[in-house]
Structure 1
Amino acid sequence: MPLFTHPWQPELPDHRQPFPMPLGSTSETFPMHRRTFLAASSAAVLLSSSLRAEDSSRRRVAVIGHSGRGNYGHGLDTVWRNVPETEIVAVADADQGGLAREVEKLKLDRGYADYRKMLLEVRPEFVAVSPRHPDQHLDMIMASIESGARGIYCEKPFCRTPAEADALIAAATKQGTKIAVAHRNRYHPALATITELLESGEMGRLLEIRGKGKGDRRGGDEDLWVLGSHVLNLVTYFCGAPKTVSAVMRKEGRLVTADDVYPGGEGLGPLAADEVRARYEMEDGTIAYYDSVANDGTGPDGYCMQLVGSKGVVTLHIDRTPIAHFTPGNPFKPASAGKPWIPITSAGVGKEEPNPELVRSVHNHILPVRDLIESVDQGRDPICDIREGATTVEMICGVFQSHRENGQAVSLPLKNRDNALADW
């Protein structure tokens, strides 16, 4: 049974939107999945009959991390131990103490200080590029591609610039390597329920999408990279490709200037702002907004995206269970009593989740990893593939470019393939 089909999921149209590939790629267009999601059956998620733990042909996996510089993301090292059809055969970590801890945690005989040496000696079929710091991703992914890896699972943010994404897409396309980016919410089965709300007319007309960062000390462009990437990645799921972005960046209430730019932490590249306001025109005509303001007082509850319809609002909280709630009614009409927030699950609005194990497999990366394995075997793209990751990076760097151009709308893909803050 294919991993991403099941009896309770209605068949939805596979809208594929033309969108120019980043420079350096080999095709003029690439598919954008729009309002389309094929969730996994519980039987396939737990264990396919063709993939048994005792199977002698378990898939060989190598893990790359860097303790103190992004570590191992959110469990990108250990997820493979929960997928019986895979076997971790090696780990690399440039930090000696971190390497020793990781070898013990993963129950391995040895580890490597140099990931390039590991890749050449081990020749794994799959590689986990785990550090959260994206300044290391280009070299790690390139080395993995060159070693002959068939599939790569990479922590987000995917990379730092569209130019880096261009290079990775070109190399992966030439080698035939499948790359998935760990925007795990893209795999959530409740997205199909939200799609049905939109397409059935129950929400009315989709008026806009509002995305928001966590509003903590990282508010601004750091939040845009670290947390906003999840939100923007979901915007493209619902609306297709971005056409333009216009944005302003502020620091302490004033517009950011070149004097505000500084080397950002966590390998993100140059940063400058504690406030970001961005507006995206999407291919289906929807306008999507993303805002992030440092210490805005909303706490983690503010980290969400809202699909605002004329007859109701869906609020989607990243990495939560339930992931989304529906508030019916005209959002602009005063109500005599508080409007309900009705949980959304894979079974529908206000219905109990019939497959909590499936949801857990999204949060702990098992479902994305199995999708990557299946994409290699079937010769298709992963659900959140390299081009989806590249589009998210493009949307982030578009904010910097628009601010450099006094908040004007700039077209996507960007002509400037680098970070516009870098040469300001």
Structure 2
Amino acid sequence: MPRTFRVGVIGHTGRGDYGHAVDVACRRAPNVEIVAVADPVEAGRRQAQQRTGARNAYAAYRDMLAKEKLDIVAICPRHIDQHHDMLLAAAEAGCHVYMEKPFCRTPAEADAVVRAFEMRHLKLGIAHISQYSPVLAAVKAAVADGAIGDLLEIRGRGKEDARGGGEDLWVLGSHVFGLMRSIAGGNAASCYATVTQGGEPVAKRHVRDGAEGIGPLAGDHVQAQYSFPRGVTGYFASRKGMAGQPTRFAVQVFGSKGVIELESGYGVKADLLRDSSWSPGRSKKTWEVITSAGIGRPEPRTDGNYEGGHVAAITDLLDAIEKDRDTKCGCRDAAAIIEMIAAAFESHRLGRPAELPLRSRANPLTLLT
């Protein structure tokens, strides 16, 4: 019989809640039993217990970890300032983790979590749901097969709404960087970036406490360039109040013979333009759809939503535990994404390209003078 995994859910009503319904997704995952929930807010705790069908409920997540024999902990709150402590507590209890993103607030926090998990041979999955999309797999196959020729650059933008700039870099840039790393096939080696606030270069006076527990934050306009293996360049930009309709929250993959555009998300379609000029207005070429089934084929899947992405990620985590392999987006992947975010601020602080891994492991904005 397949193993049944005992899962404990951590939420925090009013401080990140349960993320993008991570608790409900856990209930849909195969071979999972949610045995307990933890939430310091009584009303939220009671509602979560009802949603998940958990037998037990705790005000303190550390009590749940001590009393329940859990295989997996779901760390659900969106507020990132809680993640480091929750992750280390889960590791100390010997639990694998599925969690809401972003990973941690600084490279130093990420380092500590990577050490704690690898020392105990624990697995982590994180809700960068694009990493689990079967459409991403089809896009990577198309790139590898030469559909756009030699890979040259990858461009991405955030949603550029009221969070545009530094907050967009954290909250939505993390998805973009996950896609960049997957398509480029490795870690970024350097970053050159500028960060401005109201048209002025960000300085110490601009730094404030960011939303959702991000910590020190600044900038309403970010422009960042990353160098990847084999001469591939990545670009990320976000400017507050410049949102497009429809959204530009996506990555565009440019090659010597064409372009692929892939939205961020699980099960979203991609499009291919076989055009070396990158300009369908000049070439008169038309876009071809890419689905999970491949180029020009109808999409056979019906699970293309946020919850479906969570279920795919949790299923991948269960398989990684059983087979003792890495997840599709594990500790080191999540840490590398945080490194790319921090590198934009560090390059701005230094006024030159920042090499990765970063020498400083602190939030660069705390080092501004």
What's the TM-score, normalizing by structure 1?
0.83
User: Which of the residues 30, 45, 51 maps onto 1:105?
Assistant: 51
Contact kept in structure 2, 1:315 and 1:326, CA below 8 Å: yes
Contact kept in structure 2, 1:67 and 1:94, CA below 8 Å: yes
2:336 is equivalent to residue 399 of structure 1: no
Shift of residue 196, structure 1, vs aligned partner: 2.6
User: Which of the residues 377, 389, 392 maps onto 2:334?
Assistant: 389
Shift of residue 334, structure 1, vs aligned partner: 6.2
**Larger helix proportion of the pair:** 2
Q: For residues 332 and 365 of structure 1, what CA distance do their matches in structure 2 show?
A: 34
Q: For residues 180 and 6 of structure 2, what CA distance do their matches in structure 1 show?
A: 34
Q: How does 1:17-416 map to 2 (within 5 A)?
A: 50-51=1-2, 58-149=4-95, 151-239=96-184, 240-299=186-245, 301-319=247-265, 321-333=267-279, 335=281, 339-357=285-303, 359=304, 363-406=308-351, 408-416=352-360
Identity of aligned residues (%): 41
Letter in 2 for 1:177: L
Shift of residue 277, structure 1, vs aligned partner: 0.3
User: Which of the residues 361, 365, 369 maps onto 1:421?
Assistant: 365
Letter in 1 for 2:106: T
Letter in 2 for 1:273: G
Residues 156-207 of structure 1 deviation map (CA, whole Å, 9 limit, x = unaligned): 1000111001111111111111111211111111223222322222212222
Contact kept in structure 2, 1:215 and 1:299, CA below 8 Å: no
Give the length in aligned residue pairs: 367
Contact kept in structure 1, 2:129 and 2:306, CA below 8 Å: no
Q: For residues 207 and 375 of structure 1, what CA distance do their matches in structure 2 show?
A: 32
Residues 210-265 of structure 1 deviation map (CA, whole Å, 9 limit, x = unaligned): 01010101000100110010000111111111100010001112211111000111
Contact kept in structure 1, 2:265 and 2:306, CA below 8 Å: no
Shift of residue 345, structure 1, vs aligned partner: 0.8
Letter in 2 for 1:224: L
Residues 121 and 135 (structure 1 numbering): CA distance in 2 closer, same or farther, change over 3 Å? same
Q: For residues 280 and 293 of structure 2, what CA distance do their matches in structure 1 show?
A: 30
Shift of residue 273, structure 1, vs aligned partner: 0.4
Contact kept in structure 2, 1:214 and 1:299, CA below 8 Å: no
Task: Give the SS at the match of 2:9.
Answer: strand
Task: Give the SS at the match of 2:290.
Answer: strand
Residues 69-101 of structure 1 deviation map (CA, whole Å, 9 limit, x = unaligned): 111111211112112411000000112221121
Decide which moves more: 222-231 or 183-192.
Answer: 183-192
Residues 299 and 251 (structure 1 numbering): CA distance in 2 closer, same or farther, change over 3 Å? farther
Shift of residue 336, structure 1, vs aligned partner: 5.4
Residues 81 and 334 (structure 1 numbering): CA distance in 2 closer, same or farther, change over 3 Å? closer
Contact kept in structure 2, 1:245 and 1:398, CA below 8 Å: yes
Contact kept in structure 2, 1:251 and 1:274, CA below 8 Å: yes
Q: For residues 297 and 101 of structure 2, what CA distance do their matches in structure 1 show?
A: 32
Q: For residues 362 and 277 of structure 1, what CA distance do their matches in structure 2 show?
A: 32
Decide which moves more: 338-347 or 158-167.
Answer: 338-347
Task: Give the SS at the match of 2:212.
Answer: coil
Residues 108 and 201 (structure 1 numbering): CA distance in 2 closer, same or farther, change over 3 Å? closer
What's the TM-score, normalizing by structure 2?
0.95
